[in-house]
Structure 1
Amino acid sequence: MKEQIESISHLEVNKVAIHGKKLKIKNTNTEIILSKNQKKLLLCLMKKINEKRVIIEIIWGEGGCNTNEMNYHQLIYKTRKKLVNKGIPEDFIMTIPRYGLCLNMGFVHQNTNEQAWLNKSNFSDSEVTE
C-alpha cells in the first residue's frame, strides 16, 4: 500500500486535487505547496485510508512507535496550519477519536456555488451571518 501512495503524482476527488506537490482546490485560486509527508497524508485521506496506524506505516514505515506517533501529530498540526493560512477551514482534516483521520466530506463535495468557507474571508465580521 505504501508503494501505491508514493507512486501517485495526480489524484482528484471532487473539488480537491493533488498535482505533484501541489494541493489545488478547484474553482478557486487556492494552491498549496505540500511537503512530501503532507502529500502522502492527504493522498491517504483522499483514498479513504483513515486508520492512524496505517497512515503512520505508509508515511514512516514500521519503526519506533513513540517517534512515529509524535511525527504523526506534528504532521497533522503543520498541515492544518498551512491549510488554514490559505483560507481552508481547520476541520478540512477531521480527527476520528481513537481511530484516525478523514477529510471533511462536506467540504470535498461542496457545490462550487456554495463556497461560504472561502467567501467569509472577503467580508467584514459585521457582514457575515451564520
Structure 2
Amino acid sequence: MHNHYIINNTLEFHPATSTLRDLHDPNNVVVLNYPASRCLLLLINRQGNIVTQHEVMDIVWEQSGMQVSLNTYYQNISILRKGLKKLGVVENLIVTIPRIGLTLASGTQVKKLVADNEVEIRHDHANAIHEQEDDSMSPGLTIETQHAPGDTKLFPPAQKASLRVLAHRLSIKQISSLILIIFILLTLFMAFAIGSDNATNHRYFETYSASISHGECRVFLSNNIKSKADKDKALSYVNRFERSCQNYPWLYISHFPMLPRTSIIRCDKPMSQHNTCISDYFFESNK
C-alpha cells in the first residue's frame, strides 16, 4: 500500500519517493531529501498541533540511531521551504513557532489517498533541493518580476487586478494568523510560567479543580470552565492522552472564552513539584 497526500488541491506529496509535484503542472516535480520529507509527513500526521523541535529531531533522526545538531534541523526545514517555493507556493505553509517548533498553517487542506501500487514519478526534469541554494525569500510574501530591458510598465492592469484579489485573500489570512499568534503568546506565557518558578506555578494552578481520574490520567480544570457543557467538552480531550499519561499523568485543561481554543498542559509531576510539561492546544470549530 502506498499513501500519498493532496495539499490544498495544488500539491501532491509522495513520502515513499520524497517527491512533491504541482498538480497543475505534472512535469514540475521537486525531490526532497529523506529527512525533509519525513518532516513534512510528520507535520501532516500532526495537523492542528504544534510539533516541537525535540519531537521532530527524535522522530526524524534519533529513533533511527542518528544524533544531529539543531543546525541540521534548521537546514532541513529550509530545504522543505525551498521545495515548496519552487512549486510556486507563496503562502507560508510551514509556520514556525519561535523556540517551540512547527505546525501547518491554519486552514491547510490535506487529503490522504491510498494506492495498491507505488506511483512512479519520472524525475527527468525534477528539481533536487540543496541547502546551499539561495535562501533569500523571507517568511512573508515576496513578489518578484523580471522585465525585459526598457520595459517601464511594472504591472499591467490585469495583473494589478489579480494582485488586489491576492492582497484581499492575504488580509483574511493575516487576521487568522493574528488570532493564532495571540493564542500562542498566551500559551507561551503559561509555559514560561511553568518553567520559571515552580512556587508561583503552584499558587497559579491551585485555582484548578480536580475533575476525574481516567486510568493513569489525573485531570484538573481551570476555574473558567464552569458549565456542564464546557466541562464535558474539556474532558472529551482526555481520551487522546490515555497512552501518554503513563509518562505525563497530570493534565491541566484551560479554555479561553474569547478564542475557540483549548489548552492542555501535560506534566510528569504535579505543579507543586519540580516537573517537566508539554503544552498542546486544539482549534475548535465555530460551526
Aligned residue pairs total: 109
Aligned-partner SS, 1:91: coil
Quote how far apart the aligned CAs of 1:57 are.
0.8
Structure 1 Cα separation of the partners of residues 59 and 12 of structure 2: 20
1:60 touches 1:68 (CA, 8 Å); kept in 2?
no
1:10 aligns with 2:3: yes
Q: Which residue of 2 aligns with 1:99?
A: 100
- Following TM superposition, by how much is the alpha carbon of 1:39 offset from its aligned partner in structure 2, in angstroms? 0.9
The normalised TM-score by structure 2 is: 0.33
Q: Structure 2 vs 1, CA of residues 103 and 24 (structure 1 numbering), >3 Å: closer, same or farther?
A: farther
Task: Say if 1:125 and 1:91 are closer, same or farther in 2 by CA, change over 3 A.
Answer: farther
Q: Which residue number corresponds to residue 21 of structure 2? A: 24
Distance 2:98 2:43 in 1: 15
Matched with 1:41 is: 39
Question: Alignment RMSD, CA only?
Answer: 3.1
**Contact 1:84–1:90 under 8 Å retained in 2:** no
Q: Distance in 1 between matches of 2:6 and 2:45?
A: 9
Supply the AA of the counterpart residue of 1:87: G
> Quick check: which one's helix share is greater?
1
Distance in 1 between residues matched to 2:6 and 2:86, nearest whole Å: 22
Q: CA deviation at 1:103?
A: 1.5
CA shift for structure 1 position 25: 4.9
Query: Could you say if the C-alpha distance between residues 125 and 81 of structure 1 is closer, same or farther in structure 2, counting changes exceeding 3 Å?
Result: farther
Unaligned ranges ≥5, structure 1: 1-7, 111-116
- Are 1:56 and 2:57 matched, yes or no? yes
Q: Which residue in the other structure is 1:4 paired with?
A: none
Larger gyration radius, structure 1 or structure 2: 2
Output the TM-score relative to the length of structure 1.
Answer: 0.65
1:44 & 1:71 partners in 2: Cα distance? 17
Shift of the alpha carbon at 1:78? Answer: 2.0
Tell which has more relative contact order, 1 or 2 (C-alpha 8 A, sep 6+): 1
Instruction: List structure 1 runs of 4+ shifted beyond 3 angstroms.
Output: 13-17
**What residue ranges of structure 2 are gaps of 5+ in the alignment?**
111-140, 146-153, 168-287
Higher strand residue share:
2
